[in-house]
Amino acid sequence: MAKEGITARGKDYSQWYLDIVDKADMAENSGVRGCMVIKPHGYAIWEAIRDAMDERIKATGHVNAYFPLLIPKSFLMKEAEHVEGFAPEVAEVTRAGGEDLTETYVIRPTSETIIGSTYAKWIRSWRDLPVLINQWANVMRWELRTRPFLRTAEFLWQEGHTAHATEEEAERETLMVLHDIYADVVENVMAVPVLRGLKTDREKFAGALRTYAIEAMMQDGKALQAGTSHNLGQNFARSFDIKYTTADNREEYCWTTSWGTSTRLVGALIMAHSDDDGLVLPPKVAPTQVVVVPIFKNDAERSAVMEAVDRITADWKGRFRFKIDDRDNLSPGFKFNEWEVKGVPVRIEVGPKDVQKGTVAISRRDRPGREGKAFVEQAGLTEHVAQLLDEIQTALFERALTFQREHTFEVSSYDEFKTQIEQGFVRAYFDGDGNDEDRIKAETKATVRVIPFDQPEAEGTCFYTGRKTKQQAIFARSY
């Protein structure tokens, strides 16, 4: 039974998503076309993801910096594929300080060009390499159809931009970011399992040599690209003249990379875990991990219950992110509902009977109803809660992984492909080219999400071309 105001997933998944964003108080449309307001609850979740990402970005040797929001339009034009990819969707600043500008600026849709032009000034010799820099910023892409978190005109992200002496180093960086930063955060913090691999030329970043991605499965079987890492080769180095002098005094172009993750991840989080009752949050990203609801009818009960609540939570500070919901104008039922919709992983109720018995009632958000409710001793509760939070984190990941596996299908013919793609991901031998991908997309709305890293040893038959090949691809419809 779905909560009031939340459409059931089975009825209309797309509306369900919008309802969750709304009812869990995460974001709302603004008066600005395609731009959302990220509300405090949504922003706190983004902060948790961002902090986990930032920690890993720094631990792997990168430093943060900040480059201008505005980019001279002429910069965008310098890399041929890049301009083709981004020029149609930029917002342009043509007036400032009350005057028409002689040079038009665009609001950054991504910063390869402005950062590339800066690196060209910074890098002189092999001793200056590698340059390992990340930026946290807002970017803007004038999208026609927007959905909160998933696709908005303005979004928040991090973009890493590195420069290296050799192709091997750039490639190692590109893959390290994908595995050790992106997949690690998405799987081990957000509890969302991902598939990792290479994008086809059709799907790669505008201007990249190779794009790697992590792809997550949403509960409707569609894919969400959760992070991309690009080996840019020497393309941007040539366009922006990023050169270095080698140890033996030759001049070479640098090899550069770029990689990004964004507030889209909040959308991925919602769609991977939540249910018809509202948001479901993994403890590691939950702004509130535990809510304690004291239950009482009169002042005498109140004082006994609150005394127990204070005792129980005395050693929680710095250990859990918790709230004691002692608002006196709201019923327990109203509070339960509110915290459920907002996705708080653990709810603890303490009433007069619990005080007498030395117990509390403890409920898991990931298992709604009786199944997830238990009565436990107040003594040792802190340890119990710590363990429960770990369990929930693991259970959410396992549940999502099982779902992903059960909705990934191997097919050997295009007919089978067309049937199975309705249900989830399809993994199949595929050696088609970009034109084949276009036709498959036109006919089924599915695209190659990745050429996964784990490939079979044995040869097979391409489901589309009928040719023998050793390459498998993962297809899905996507957000």
Binding site for a second copy (CB under 8 A): 30-32, 35-40, 43-44, 46-47, 63-72, 75, 87-98, 105, 107, 114, 117-118, 127, 133, 137-138, 140, 142, 144, 154, 156, 329
Instruction: Kindly give the interhelix angle for 381-406 and 264-273, rounded to the nearest 10 degrees.
Output: 90
Nearest approach, Cβ of residue 395 and a second copy (Å): 28
Nearest approach, Cβ of residue 444 and a second copy (Å): 28
Nearest approach, Cβ of residue 289 and a second copy (Å): 16
- Phi first, then psi, for residue 125 (nearest 5°) are -125, 170
Q: What gap in Å lies between CA 141 and CA 210, rounded to an integer?
A: 22
Q: Could you write out the DSSP letters of every residue in 277-315?
A: TB----GGG-S-SEEEEE--SSHHHHHHHHHHHHHHTTT
Nearest approach, Cβ of residue 157 and a second copy (Å): 12
Please say which residue, 153 or 440, places its beta carbon nearer to a second copy: 153
Nearest approach, Cβ of residue 293 and a second copy (Å): 18
Please say which residue, 37 or 379, places its beta carbon nearer to a second copy: 37
Nearest approach, Cβ of residue 50 and a second copy (Å): 11
* Euclidean distance between the first and the last CA atom of the chain, given in angstroms as a whole number: 27
Please say which residue, 53 or 381, places its beta carbon nearer to a second copy: 53
Please say which residue, 89 or 180, places its beta carbon nearer to a second copy: 89
Cβ atoms within 10 Å, residue 258:
25
Query: Which residue in 185, 191, 195, 199 sits closest to 223, CA to CA?
Result: 195
Nearest approach, Cβ of residue 397 and a second copy (Å): 27
Q: What gap in Å lies between CA 373 and CA 124, rounded to an integer?
A: 63
Please say which residue, 63 or 300, places its beta carbon nearer to a second copy: 63
Q: What gap in Å lies between CA 261 and CA 384, rounded to an integer?
A: 34
Cβ atoms within 10 Å, residue 432:
21
User: Which burial class, exposed, middle or buried, applies to 444 when counting CB atoms under 10 A from its CB (0-12, 13-18, 19+)?
Assistant: middle
Nearest approach, Cβ of residue 35 and a second copy (Å): 4
Q: Which residues pair with 362 in a beta bridge?
A: 348, 374
Please say which residue, 132 or 361, places its beta carbon nearer to a second copy: 132
Answer positive or negative: Cα dihedral of 225, 35, 18, 446: negative
Query: Which residue in 185, 245, 251 sits closest to 216, CA to CA?
Result: 185
Query: Which residue in 287, 178, 161 sits closest to 226, CA to CA?
Result: 178
Nearest approach, Cβ of residue 351 and a second copy (Å): 25
Nearest approach, Cβ of residue 167 and a second copy (Å): 25
Nearest approach, Cβ of residue 106 and a second copy (Å): 9
Asked if 134 contacts 173 with a C-beta cutoff of 8 angstroms, the reply is: no
Nearest approach, Cβ of residue 190 and a second copy (Å): 19
Please say which residue, 240 or 296, places its beta carbon nearer to a second copy: 240
Instruction: Name residues whose C-beta falls within 8 Å of residue 192's C-beta, 6 or more positions apart in sequence.
Output: 186, 216, 226, 268, 269, 272, 273, 397, 400
Strand order in 346-350's β-sheet? 322-324, 290-294, 346-350, 359-364, 373-377
Q: What gap in Å lies between CA 63 and CA 200, rounded to an integer?
A: 30
Cβ atoms within 10 Å, residue 128:
15
Please say which residue, 101 or 300, places its beta carbon nearer to a second copy: 101
Please say which residue, 338 or 431, places its beta carbon nearer to a second copy: 338
Q: What gap in Å lies between CA 17 and CA 273, rounded to an integer?
A: 11
Please say which residue, 114 or 237, places its beta carbon nearer to a second copy: 114
Please say which residue, 156 or 198, places its beta carbon nearer to a second copy: 156
Please say which residue, 68 or 466, places its beta carbon nearer to a second copy: 68
